[in-house]
Amino acid sequence: MKKTYRIANKFRFTVFVAVMVVVFSVLLGMIVPVRAHAGSNIKYIEVKVCGGDTLWGLAAQYGDPNKDIRENIYDICRINDISAGTLHAGDTILIPQ
């Protein structure tokens, strides 16, 4: 015998669903934190990659001189979602200053 369900009070059901959506959203927000733009005062320079350019050279030329070059390269890769092997001539990348 198949059991059937009936919504007795539509208002209570709607409130229950709304509360569950809010609870699920809060729990999901705790598990997967939203990335905030922590460095909103960071300035970026847009650079068009030419043939023969490397991340090391671009980081040395345009990156923050107060940081280690490896940290500059890491920031460039993270911001642009690239790796050293995916840098191609004609690409435009952002470099934090």
Selected residue with higher pLDDT from 29 and 88: 88
Helix, strand, coil percentages for the chain (3-state, nearest 5): 45, 10, 45
CATH topology of domain 44-96: Membrane-bound Lytic Murein Transglycosylase D; Chain A (3.10.350)
- pLDDT at residue 39, as a whole number: 53
- pLDDT at residue 34, as a whole number: 59
What average pLDDT is seen over the chain? 87
> Which amino acid would we find at residue 77?
C
Selected residue with higher pLDDT from 62 and 33: 62
Domain extents in the chain:
44-96
The encoded tokens of residue 44 equal 């970026």
Q: Work out whether strand 44-48 and strand 92-96 pair parallel, antiparallel, or are unpaired.
A: antiparallel
Q: What is the mean pLDDT of residues 25-53?
A: 79
* Bridge partners, residue 46, by sequence: 94
Helix (H) or strand (E) holding 32: none
Helix (H) or strand (E) holding 58: helix 55-62
Q: What is the mean pLDDT of residues 74-88?
A: 88
